[in-house]
Amino acid sequence: MQPHDQEYDLPPEAAAWRARAAAFAQNVLAPVAREADRAGRFSRDVVRQLGQAGLIGAALPASAGGGAASALAACAIAEEIGAVDGSTRGFLAVQAGLVLAPLVAHAPAALRDHWAPRLTSGEAIGACALTEPEAGSDLGAMRTTIRPDGDDVVIDGEKVWITNGGVADVLLVFGQTDPTRKTRGLECYLVAADTPGLERQPMPGRELGHRASDHARLVFRGLRVPKAQRVGPALGGMGVAMLGLEDGRLNVAAGAVGVHRACLEASIQFARTRRQFGQRIGDFQQVGATLASMDVALRASRLLVHQAARLKDRGLDNGHAVSAAKLHATEAALAAATQAIQLHGSRGYSDELPLERHWRDVMALTIYEGTSNIQRVILARMLLGRDEPPEGSEA
Ligand SMILES: Cc1cc2nc3c(=O)[nH]c(=O)nc-3n(C[C@H](O)[C@H](O)[C@H](O)COP(=O)(O)OP(=O)(O)OC[C@H]3O[C@@H](n4cnc5c(N)ncnc54)[C@H](O)[C@@H]3O)c2cc1C
């Protein structure tokens, strides 16, 4: 048991999910994660095994074939997977958070009943297509058009950086119906990947991290989808995106806690055993102080993540808590990965140890599902509220 293990303070339900995910991470992911990263290989086999272990659908309601796990349990799962393999944790955030959560809650029943069991079992793969070359943080700037035509809509445009985009069997595609309405003009449609009019290419360039993930550029040319395949008409496209992103962001934050923990545990172990100048390096004050700072930051991150999850489990609004957790946990994990490499000296610089992979992977966690700056924008808006000019002012 690690020093902070007893302080997880998880109820039995979440502790059981955590143990299941930890066993999966150790038995299935740990033996292959480095080779998958080196080869840049996405594995459908790992996806199927995730499904068989019940980890993809863990947080879905039992009525949708899910495990009815609490949000706290879902965070514990993300922490365990994230501690071992960032690419698989990233896959899970997309498949479970960005795709399955909105699909189960807001897709037409026939489509939900067709796709949810396949996605949950890992037989099918899903992707969520929001980002465009000119619309990253600013979703209202989307240029992909959605034009009604009889019983169909026609989609034209381009998406980039879509996780699972090249391997997905089904995609949630977002586009604009009226550019003057910005985010209020967005709509979301469920698109089977074999629909004519969809081209997919790998992203050009080699990614810094998440190398065992699939990231694609998607081009839609006159792609025709029945209007009946619209997801969440009552919510609007932005509402569907936000529903997925709030789940996904919490998963990202919990995954960052996993990376942070892995970096701290490796650093403690190394600082206990590595000797220089006749003593354990951990007994040098500067090294001990680094470990102490990493430990406190980890505790703060996990508390923020668990607070956001507990609010969700109580049915309370957790938007503020999720943004705070994502901002703190991802930035702290990036700092911890840097400190861990430094503390391991030259060993940390090689992929013999997983630390450099954690550092490369965790950088992306500060970017996707809302960059750190965007989390600050959200938090500042929540703190300040709307500007209500004093009576009589001209503003
Ligand atoms: C590994 C990976 C996986 C991804 N997977 C997906 C996916 O599955 N689906 C998908 O749709 N997208 C995906 N993305 C894209 C990701 O969501 C975007 O990269 C992200 O939203 C940021 O958009 P951008 O890269 O265009 O940066 P920009 O929005 O152009 O931002 C550039 C910089 O400007 C800052 N900035 C922007 N606006 C503001 C503001 N208002 N205030 C202060 N600073 C601001 C940002 O913080 C950032 O530092 C993925 C990206 C990566 C790296």
pLDDT of 223-246, one tens digit each? 999 999 999 999 999 999 999 998
Is 392 part of any domain? no
Same domain assignment for residues 214 and 172? yes
> Does some domain include residue 391?
no
- DSSP E strands in 130-205: the ranges are 145-149, 152-163, 170-176, 186-192, 198-202
Q: Return the pLDDT at 90.
A: 97
d(CA 81, CA 23): 10
**Domain-embedded: residue 213:** yes
Nearest to 91 by CA among 52, 122, 59: 122
Q: Specify the pLDDT at position 330.
A: 98
CATH code for the domain of 217: 2.40.110.10
User: pLDDT tens for residues 277-295?
Assistant: 999 999 999 999 999 999 9
Q: Is 319 in the same domain as 353?
A: yes
- pLDDT < 50 positions in the chain: 1, 3-4, 395
Q: What is the DSSP string of 55-104?
A: -SSTTS-GGGT-----HHHHHHHHHHHHHH-HHHHHHHIIIIIIIIHHHH
DSSP 8-state symbol, 135: B
Which pLDDT value is given to residue 121? 97
- 374 CA from centroid of ligand 1 (Å): 9
**184 and 74, same structural domain?**
no
Picking from 109, 125, 141, the residue at the C-terminal end of a domain is 125
Taking only Cα atoms into account, the Rg of the chain, rounded to an integer number of angstroms, comes to: 22
Has residue 395 been placed in a domain? Answer: no
One domain, residues 111 and 150: no
Residue 321 lies in a domain: yes
User: Could you tell me how far CA 51 lies from the centroid of its own chain?
Assistant: 17
Q: How many domains are contained in the chain? A: 3
Instruction: Out of 208, 366, 367, give the residue to mutate to test ligand 1, the one with the largest number of ligand atoms within 8 Å of its CB.
Output: 367
CA of 157 to the centre of ligand 1 (A): 18
Domain end marker among 167, 202, 236: 236
Same domain (yes/no): 48, 113? yes
Q: Are residues 230 and 244 in the same domain?
A: no
Contacts of 326 (CB under 8 A, 6+ apart): 249, 250, 252, 253, 256, 369, 370, 375
Tokens of 394: 């001209």
Ligand 1 atom at minimal distance to the Cα of residue 133 = 26
State the catalytic residues.
369
Q: Where is the domain boundary, 204, 219, 236?
A: 236
Same domain (yes/no): 192, 269: no
Q: Is residue 93 part of a domain?
A: yes
User: Which helix (H) or strand (E) covers residue 50, if one does?
Assistant: helix 44-52
Shared domain for 172 and 53, answered yes or no, is no
12 within a domain of the structure (yes/no): yes
In this structure, are 131 and 72 located in the same domain? no
Query: Is residue 393 in some structural domain?
Result: no
Ligand 1, atom 12, lies closest to the CA of: 131
pLDDT of residue 6: 57
Question: What is the distance between the alpha carbons of residues 252 and 365, in angstroms, rounded to a whole number?
Answer: 6
Q: How far is C-alpha 27 from the geometric centre of its chain's CA atoms?
A: 22
Residues 354 and 289 occupy one common structural domain: yes
Pocket of ligand 1 (CB under 6 A): 94, 128-131, 136-137, 161-163, 210, 215, 364, 367-368, 371, 373-374, 377
3-state class (DSSP) for residue 393: coil
CATH (domain of 51): 1.10.540.10
Report the CATH number that the domain containing residue 317 is assigned in CATH: 1.20.140.10
How do strand 215-226 and strand 275-276 relate by DSSP bridges? unpaired
Q: Which amino acid is at 334?
A: L
C-alpha–C-alpha distance, residues 52 and 37, integer Å: 23
Q: Are residues 113 and 132 in the same domain?
A: no
Write down the pTM of the prediction.
0.96
Residue span of the structural domain in which 169 resides: 127-236
Q: Which atom of ligand 1 is nearest to the CA of 210?
A: 1
Q: Residue 193 has which token pair?
A: 């990947």
For residues 242 and 380, membership in a common domain is answered with yes
**Rounded to an integer, what distance in angstroms lies between the CA atom of residue 324 and that of residue 132?**
26
**Best of 137, 139, 247 to mutate for ligand 1, by most ligand atoms within 8 A of CB?**
137
